[in-house]
Amino acid sequence: MSPNVFDVTDATFQSAVVDRSQQVPVVVDFWAPWCAPCRTLGPILERLIAARNGTVVLAKLNVDENPGLADYFQIQSIPAVKAIKNGQLVLQFEGLLPEAQIEGFLNQLGPSETDDLLKQAAAKESSAPAESEAIYQKLLNQSPDHVAARLGLARLRLAARDFDAIVTLLEPIPPGGPDGIEADRIRAECALKRVASGDEAALRRKLDADPENAELRYELGRALAAVGRYPDALEMLYSAAERDRPLARGKVKETMVQIFHIIGVRSDLADEYRDKLQRVMY
The domain 113-194 is placed in CATH, from the list 1.10.10, 3.90.1460, 1.25.40, 3.30.70, at: 1.25.40
Query: How much helix, strand and coil, in percent to the nearest 5, is found in the chain?
Result: 60, 10, 30
Cα distances (Å, whole numbers) of residue 239 to 54, 133, 207, 215: 48, 41, 12, 10
pLDDT in tens, 235-256: 999 999 999 999 999 999 999 9
Write down the catalytic residue from 8, 17, 27, 38. 38
Residue 197 has a pLDDT of 67
38 as an active site residue: the answer is: yes
Whether 148 shows a pLDDT value over 70: the answer reads yes
**Summary mean pLDDT of the chain:** 91
Residue 11 φ then ψ, to 5°: -75, -30
Burial 186-196 (b: 16+ CB within 10 A, else e): bbbbbbbbeee
Q: Which one-letter DSSP state was computed for residue 15?
A: I
Q: Of residues 8, 26, 35, 203, which has the active-site annotation?
A: 35
DSSP state of 277: H
Render 37-61 in DSSP notation, one character per residue: HHHHHHHHHHHHHHTTTTSSEEEEE
Superfamily of domain 200-281 in CATH is Tetratricopeptide repeat domain (1.25.40.10)
- Model pLDDT for residues 179-206, shown as the tens digit of each residue: 889 999 999 999 998 876 678 999 999 9
pLDDT of residue 1: 57
Q: Which pLDDT value is given to residue 26? A: 94
pLDDT, residue 175, reads: 84
Where b means 16+ CB within 10 Å and e means fewer, 248-265 reads beebbbebbebbbbbbee
Q: Which CATH superfamily is domain 5-107 in?
A: Glutaredoxin (3.40.30.10)
% of the chain residues with pLDDT over 70: 98
* Residue 159: predicted pLDDT: 94
